[in-house]
Amino acid sequence: MIPQQFEYSAPKTLDEALGLLAEGAKPLAGGMSLIPMMKLRLASPEHLVDLGRIKDLNYIREEGGAIHIGATATHQDVLSSPLLRGKCPLLAETAAHIGDVQVRNMGTIGGSVAHADPSADYPAALQALEAKIVLKGAKSERTVSAEDFFVDTFTTALEPGEIVREVIVPIDGDGTGTNYQKVLQPASGFAIVGVAVRVRKQGEKVTLARIGVTGLSNRAFRAKEAEKALEGRSGSPAEIQAVAALVGQGIDANSDLHASAEYRLHLTAVYAAKALATALGRIA
Amino acid sequence: MATTTITKTEKLVGKRIRRREDPRLITGTATYVDDIKMPGMLYAAILRSPHAAAKIRSIDISKAKALKGVHAVFVGEDTKNAGAVPCGASLPGLRVPHHNLLAIDRVYLVGHPVAVVVATDRYVARDGAELIEVDYEPEAAVADPEKALAPGAHAVHPQWADNVAFTFHQEGGDVAKAFAEADVIVKQRIVSQRLIPNSMETRGVVADWHAADRSMNLFTSTQAPHLVRSLVAQILGLEENRFRVVAPEVGGGFGAKIQTYAEEILLAWISMKLQKPVKWIESRRENFLCTIHGRGHVDFYEIAAKRDGTITGIKLKIIQDLGAYFTVLTPAIPTLSVLMMPGLYRTPNIQADIVGAFTNCTPTDAYRGAGRPEATHGIERMVDMVAAELKMDPAEIRLKNFVRNEEFPFPTATGLVYDSGDYSAPLKKAMEMAGYDQLRKEQVEARKQGKLMGIGLCAYGEICAFGPSPATPAGGWESATVKIEPSGQVTVLTGISPHGQGEETTFAQITGDELGVGIDDVLVLHGDTSLVPYGIGTFGSRSTAVGGTALYYALQDLKAKVKKFGAMLLESEDVTLANGQCTDNKTGKSVGFKEIAAAAYRAMKLPPNTEPGLLATHFWEPPNFTFPFGAHLVVTDVDRDTGNVSIRRYIAIDDCGNILNPLIVDGQVHGGVAQGIGQALWEQAVYDDNGQLVTGEFMDYTMPRAHMMPWIESGHTVTPTPVNPLGVKGVGEAGTIGASPAVVNSVVDALSPLGVKHLDMPLTPEKLWKLISAGSNA
Amino acid sequence: MTETINVSINGTTYSHEVEPRLLLIHYLREVVGLTGPHIGCETSLCGACTVELNGKAIKSCSIFAIQCDGAKILTIEGMAADGKLHKIQEAFWNEHGLQCGFCTPGMIMTTKQILDRNRNPTDQEIRHGLDGNLCRCTGYQHIVNAVRAAARAAGA
């Protein structure tokens, strides 16, 4: 219940924060993953840099045809943002599945993404959205795709000293439908599996299919074979079933107390089908 | 639902009255143990074993001792003469392991306390604990009771190679004949898994020793403060009359706070050593590992029946997972299962055997229901299996075998005497509320469409109101003291120790009605051994049935005395006490309660042979247990694709005798049902082969949350008990006892078209999905 | 190694020296003396410690006091005003929405958040809104009734 001692800084500017991080300090955003780990002494950083006071990290805005979400935007900010609800509803819908009211009030998109919990919700949506993640260090800034960002369990493309500065998600016009489906690990509220689907249709044909999956394996990923199998088709119930069956194919699935690998793979297909059907049904 | 506003003339018992204890709780001003602060108070943190079985080669406390703010560090060698954790249960041939406060040369379970650090605050104490270096030599462990009993298993206690703590045998009637003459015999292994009680408040202790007058104040989150006092004072060799135990506000117990724990003894010992008040608050992780667990049964059932559904005999073998040590009731719990193994049925022939197995796990003990949920789960599953075998409706077989109304008091094959009942009434009521026949028709249609819909019944009986003293480990009576203050206000001191059950309200209702005063004039105090003469505590659905009855009799004594003073003041010989007045039956003149109280204390004049003051104490010894009963009916739908169970309807009909406050009774049923559904669907303490508790945090142990619970349609039938004058039986455990078999029976019914006959808990979606997918492939 | 924080709690401003690692729940309970918020776990899953931080319900066991410098905090102790219970407190009392009372301060603060955002929630919205708060006593049914009653009392 008691964390170890640490030094604390709460800089007002990003540059100041990055300077401290370059010296080996660790960033603290919403703290929803880090602080419980510190209390159980599974994490013991010596120096924490609180990003919460940096005003220009907390925003959700439209810019250059995309939506930019600052690292310290909370899950509540995301799920209630009129901009996201209108123009990128998948992210808002996914945020509503994270944790609980209190966790959503504190937890941030930057913190969640950087933590890269393999059963977190956001990564599925970010994969399906082909989101870009902007990483900033003291001397550099670079943008990586969600696909390249999530490397392994609790492992991302972040280099030491870098933080997630913002997440960029696309604005999809008419003809696009999205959905996030989640199987809840009933004790923790994390995803046993989560499937995010983003589909676009022209006439009767699916022109774009993006499927992001979380919880199934060591990292969130895009189910590209399944995406390919759907593109060019109409999205009939039979096609949905066939596509859903491909989503977990070839994946080395996690196995734990709450779901064996076999069951997780099965759930992936079941919930992928639900997500596909719902997303297709939502195409305006 | 509206609550009732009380006037002095209105009867209080039976009303939906909002609770008297709530104002402090809803404003955050109640005082739980961790809210207590004392000048100079130190904080203790306990270092616990990460191994389930290991030798301790050495412990180095030097770094911890050197840490600024650390006052002391103690290890097992320091406390080895301070006594041991007590076990109150006794069975013939019972092997009782010596349960040291801190491990000495070996650890026997993960969480075994190894050292304690005492420091200026809880942060420093925890830092100090982290600095202790223990050199362990880990050994193989055994964490499963069946594996523990297998030849060659690791011996939990080296001196007892077979891991058998005790065996127990009981029989009644002629079970051999029943089985020889049976038309059908059904056998099944049934597991009631290990559960973690998880009261929202963990345990905690503040010990405050005053050397000058050799007195101890011990504040502890307990259900039984007097038992803690008697035991800890005795263990530490202290004078009981100078040892005060206070159960302040207690944030739930569910049986897990009946015990006297190592920390209560240890903290008292430390306070004496350091001459300072010391606090220890259990973390949730510690609560998972170090507070008792519940259930942990592997049962082997055999039932003999006639073709017409008459159940003629039951054989039961119980393997009880005891854990590494005993707490106060550990070995006694499965014997309660044996007592209740016939359920509500007339079955005259029983045979039971228990093997108590040591494992390198947390001790099991009383968890809500304590032995009776296991028994009810077993018999109610078995009855369903017999019905299925005989192609009978599960309601019909129950109605056929129930003890009949004219048979009460009914002696059971296990040696009990069931007090009163109308066992078919709640079942019929539940079926009527559900529209049972219609549901069965709907089920036929659903099955035609391949849907998995289940209807589950459970008819449960309980043994409550513990209990006659000869049948309990520590006395089964209860005490009450009632004082009328000189102002006329009434103070009740009760020996029970409620921690959410609402007796500050229900006892005020009883008192108000008996004395004819308003509920606002009554104050109910409890949980402080320096206030209450003595008491047994709150557990086993006993508080109102036993403690309330003690109160009732104390009130009768007091009423007699009030009347004497009233008669004196009215100069009459024939008076009635009602509505806060004593009235002369001849003249109609009356004198108020306040005047009488004032006169009794002022004592200018006294009635003949009467002492001043208005106080009465009654210790009540119950002549029997009470036997509440009821029926649950659960409609479930199982999703073929995922194995998810959804509860469409949950009907709970309880008969707890007379109902003092329906609002509180409903609350008790709801909470009980949540814990029963929790066991049926989600909860399980899982150990790996090394004795590590895999479900050792809320991250992995599934507690029922608001969105997981169905709406509970509750109802009642009322069959008063003749055991006590209030006619109350007890309701604290009813919901839990009825719920797990009702849910499991419903899901087994849903899956029965696939050939499923039995399922062990918890009914996780994966478990069901595997059966469904195997069935649909077949 | 301490720093000064200034915090407004239930309308009163406090200034204290704190260690960075001091959790808000311990600050409230041990330093300020507000023991209404409780500690029921260390994994941010029970919600007994819920308080309002700048108008939002949060778990005070999962934030450091130092992060709250300059913040406005409302705890259960600040819910009743002028000697009058808050409507949510009244509703929990009337509906028997509590038994042992340990989870209750957190439940009430979360209920406030639910109703601040949705004046007339459905049962399902209430139950999901309470996802972050464990109760072991009530089976939640009377709590759901209490939230409903509070919504009604607030004129939903």
pLDDT beyond 70 at B759: yes
- pLDDT score at B8: 60
> B612 with B591, same domain?
yes
> C63 with C8, same domain?
yes
> C50 with C95, same domain?
no
Q: Which of B248, B245, B237 is nearest to B208 (CA)?
A: B245
> C100 with C137, same domain?
yes
> C93 with C122, same domain?
yes
> B483 with B499, same domain?
yes
Domains held by chain C: number: 2
- The last residue of a domain, from among B564, B590, B620: B620
Burial class (CB in 10 A: 0-12, 13-18, 19+), A162: buried
Choosing among B3, B4, B27, B203, which should be mutated to test the C contact, i.e. which has the most C CBs within 10 A?
Answer: B27
At B4, is the pLDDT very low, low, confident or very high (cuts 50, 70, 90)? very low
Q: Is B167 a member of any domain?
A: no
Q: Is B5 a member of any domain?
A: no
> C63 with C16, same domain?
yes
> B494 with B541, same domain?
yes
CB contact under 8 A, A106 and C63: yes
Q: Which of A106, A121, A110 is nearest to A60 (CA)?
A: A110
pLDDT beyond 90 at B9: no
Q: Which of B78, B76, B109, B70 is nearest to B693 (CA)?
A: B109
pLDDT beyond 90 at B138: yes
Rounded-to-integer distance, Cα B542 and Cα B730, Å? 6
A101's enclosing H/E stretch is helix A101-106
Strands B113-119 and B42-48: antiparallel
Partner B, chain A 235-264, Cβ-Cβ below 8 Å: 257-260, 263
At A284, is the pLDDT very low, low, confident or very high (cuts 50, 70, 90)? confident
Q: Which domains does chain A have, with CATH numbers?
A: 7-53 (3.30.43.10), 55-170 (3.30.465.10), 179-281 (3.30.390.50)
Domain that holds residue B566: 22-29+477-620
Say yes or no: B283 contacts chain A, CB-CB below 8 A: yes
- The last residue of a domain, from among C77, C100, C121: C77
> C22 with C70, same domain?
yes
pLDDT beyond 70 at B736: yes
Instruction: Give the model confidence (pLDDT) of B438-491 as tens digits.
Output: 999 999 999 999 999 999 999 999 999 998 999 888 899 999 999 999 999 999
> C113 with C58, same domain?
no
> C114 with C64, same domain?
no
- pLDDT score at B776: 59
Give phi and psi for C39, each to the nearest 5: -115, 115
Strands C72-74 and C3-9: parallel
> B96 with B225, same domain?
yes
Instruction: Give the model confidence (pLDDT) of B651-672 as tens digits.
Output: 999 999 999 999 999 999 999 9
- The last residue of a domain, from among C27, C42, C77: C77
Q: Which of B737, B673, B715, B742 is nearest to B426 (CA)?
A: B715
| CA B633, B639, B645, B650 torsion-angle sign | negative
Rounded-to-integer distance, Cα B460 and Cα B472, Å? 22
Domain that holds residue C72: 3-77
Say yes or no: C58 contacts chain A, CB-CB below 8 A: yes
In chain B, residues with a C-beta closer than 8 Å to the C-beta of A263 are 765-766, 769-770
- Note the pTM of the prediction, 2 decimals: 0.97
Partner B, chain C 91-120, Cβ-Cβ below 8 Å: 92-96, 98-105, 108
B752 DSSP β-pair partners: none
Q: What is the CATH number of the domain that holds B605?
A: 3.30.365.10
CB contact under 8 A, A8 and C63: no
> C148 with C94, same domain?
yes
> C64 with C106, same domain?
no
Partner C, chain B 617-676, Cβ-Cβ below 8 Å: 663-664, 666-667, 670-675
> B66 with B211, same domain?
yes
At B7, is the pLDDT very low, low, confident or very high (cuts 50, 70, 90)? very low
> B769 with B662, same domain?
yes
Q: Is C29 a member of any domain?
A: yes
CB contact under 8 A, C137 and B19: no
pLDDT beyond 60 at B6: no
Question: What is the interface pTM, i.e. ipTM, of the complex?
Answer: 0.98
Instruction: Give the model confidence (pLDDT) of A257-282 as tens digits.
Output: 999 999 999 999 999 999 999 999 99
Q: What is the CATH number of the domain that holds C45?
A: 3.10.20.30
> B646 with B729, same domain?
yes
Q: Is B565 a member of any domain?
A: yes
**Whether B408 contacts B418, CB under 8 Å:** yes
> B592 with B492, same domain?
yes
Rounded-to-integer distance, Cα A186 and Cα B708, Å? 9
Say yes or no: C60 contacts chain A, CB-CB below 8 A: no
> B563 with B712, same domain?
no
Rounded-to-integer distance, Cα B721 and Cα B23, Å? 33
Q: Is B3 a member of any domain?
A: no
User: Which chain A residue lies closest to C44 (C-alpha atoms)?
Assistant: A36
Q: Is B181 a member of any domain?
A: no
Strands A66-70 and A60-63: antiparallel
DSSP for B546-597, please give it: IIIHHHHHHHHHHHHHHHHHHHHHHT-S-EEEETTEEEETTT--EEEHHHHH
Mean per-residue pLDDT of chain B: 96
Radius of gyration of chain A (CA): 19
> B549 with B662, same domain?
no
DSSP for B381-397, please give it: HHHHHHHHHHT--HHHH
Q: Is C82 a member of any domain?
A: no
> C69 with C99, same domain?
no
- pLDDT score at B89: 87
Instruction: Give the model confidence (pLDDT) of B682-735 as tens digits.
Output: 999 999 999 999 999 999 999 999 999 999 999 999 999 999 999 999 999 999
Q: Is C103 a member of any domain?
A: yes
Mean per-residue pLDDT of chain C: 97
> B282 with B362, same domain?
no
Domains held by chain B: number: 3
Say yes or no: C40 contacts chain A, CB-CB below 8 A: no
- The last residue of a domain, from among C77, C107, C129: C77
Q: What is the CATH number of the domain that holds C138?
A: 1.10.150.120
pLDDT beyond 60 at B778: no
Query: What mean pLDDT do residues A6-29 have?
Result: 96
Q: Is B100 a member of any domain?
A: yes
> C70 with C100, same domain?
no
Q: Residue C101's Cα: distance from chain center in Å?
A: 13
- The last residue of a domain, from among B620, B638, B668: B620
Percent of chain C with pLDDT over 90: 96
CB contact under 8 A, A8 and C131: no
Say yes or no: B646 contacts chain A, CB-CB below 8 A: no
Under 8 Å CB pairs connecting chains A and B tally to 45
> B67 with B106, same domain?
yes
